[in-house]
């Protein structure tokens, strides 16, 4: 039985570890080519792009099957020319919901999102945004042909809200041919904020808040990424499962966030003054999985670090 428990724990750790971003070779502030002559600047580089498709409803008429692989809407753009099959066609009136896991987006000065809509024709679609994937806010449609979207018209909060979901609804402007509907090669955040989700088992022993020695490489990897953002607000949130009382979970989450903050400040040294740190505990109040299974509870025990760069980071190079 102990051997079985070991293998279950090992499997969970391997699955979770594979999700961590390696910042060693990540370049921020990159320019991406659009078509033959246009360019778009994305401050978070290859982390700017969609990580997951959570819902896809094909329109009618549908695009040919070769153009309906949802994986083709993920990651950085790779379209070269028609009829490359490297993008997702929604079909006439189709609907797509995507999620950002390694980043989110906020309202900055100027456009906040860029849609790599490709193919032989420019098809219009409606754009909605959400913080939780449940409550949606309509932003605009792209009937004017622009691939840039600014969320300023719907951002009413004095403190900048962070969004992690986008919904597209094709407007049926082009319903013929093999690639009916809008053709999405990639979706990138211009107003991107970095989000790192570190599972607690990599950092702490069960019910403890002292960092394990094995945790240091995980936090050192994050520091590599943070050093590439010269000035920022850094929010550290501790999350727990729902096994204990609310009061206990709040205290444990806060102490874990403080432990991570202390390590980062220690290793930033004189550069620490360039970052404004906040620590919070969400306790068990924001689960990302069920608390009824061991794997679900493991996912809920985590530390999330959100990095909101300063305004200068979003300015393209001259």
Longest dimension (CA), the chain: 63
| Non-local CB neighbours of 232 within 8 Å, separated by 6+ positions | 226, 274, 275, 276, 307, 308, 309, 310, 313
In 3-state terms, what secondary structure has residue 61?
A: coil
Confidence at residue 11, expressed as pLDDT on a 0 to 100 scale: 38
CA distances from 169 to 48, 105, 181 (A): 21, 20, 9
Report helix angle 216-227 to 246-268, nearest 10: 60
Q: Which residues of the chain have pLDDT under 50?
A: 1-18
Q: Please give, one letter per residue, the 3-state secondary structure of 200-224.
A: HHHHCCCCCCCCCHHHHHHHHHHHH
pLDDT in tens, 186-229: 999 999 999 999 999 999 999 999 999 988 999 999 999 999 99
Both tokens of residue 212? 């394990």
Confidence at residue 284, expressed as pLDDT on a 0 to 100 scale: 97
Query: What are the chain's domains?
Result: 2-26+194-314 (3.30.1330.60), 44-190 (2.60.120.260)
Confidence at residue 144, expressed as pLDDT on a 0 to 100 scale: 66
pTM: 0.90
Confidence at residue 1, expressed as pLDDT on a 0 to 100 scale: 42
């Amino acid at each position: 039985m102990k051997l079985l428990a070991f293998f279950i724990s090992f499997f969970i750790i391997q699955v979770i570890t594979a999700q961590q971003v390696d910042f060693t070779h990540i370049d921020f502030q990159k320019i991406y080519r659009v078509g033959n002559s246009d360019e778009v600047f994305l401050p978070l580089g290859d982390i700017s792009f969609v990580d997951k498709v959570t819902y896809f409803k094909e329109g009618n008429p549908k695009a040919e099957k070769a153009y309906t692989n949802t994986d083709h809407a993920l990651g950085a753009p790779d379209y070269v020319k028609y009829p490359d099959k490297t993008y997702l066609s929604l079909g006439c009136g189709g609907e797509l919901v995507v999620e950002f896991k390694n980043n989110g987006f906020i309202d900055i000065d100027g456009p906040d999102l860029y849609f790599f809509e490709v193919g032989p024709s420019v098809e219009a679609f409606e754009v909605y945004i959400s913080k939780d994937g449940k409550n949606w806010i309509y932003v605009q449609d792209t009937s004017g042909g622009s691939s840039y979207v600014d969320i300023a018209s719907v951002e009413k909060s004095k403190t900048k809200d962070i969004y992690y979901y986008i919904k597209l609804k094709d407007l049926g402007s082009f319903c013929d041919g093999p690639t009916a509907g809008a053709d999405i090669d990639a979706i990138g955040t211009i107003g991107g904020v970095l989000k790192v989700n570190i599972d607690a088992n990599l950092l702490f022993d069960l019910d403890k808040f002292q960092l394990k020695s094995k945790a240091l490489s995980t936090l050192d990897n994050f520091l590599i990424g943070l050093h590439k953002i010269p000035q920022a607000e850094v929010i550290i949130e501790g999350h727990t499962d729902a096994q204990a009382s609310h009061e206990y979970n709040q205290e444990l989450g806060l102490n874990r966030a403080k432990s991570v903050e202390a390590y980062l400040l220690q290793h930033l040294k004189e550069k620490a003054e360039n970052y404004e740190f906040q620590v919070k505990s969400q306790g068990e109040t924001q689960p990302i999985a069920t608390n009824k299974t061991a794997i679900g509870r493991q996912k809920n025990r985590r530390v999330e670090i959100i990095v909101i760069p300063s305004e200068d980071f979003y300015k393209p190079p001259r």
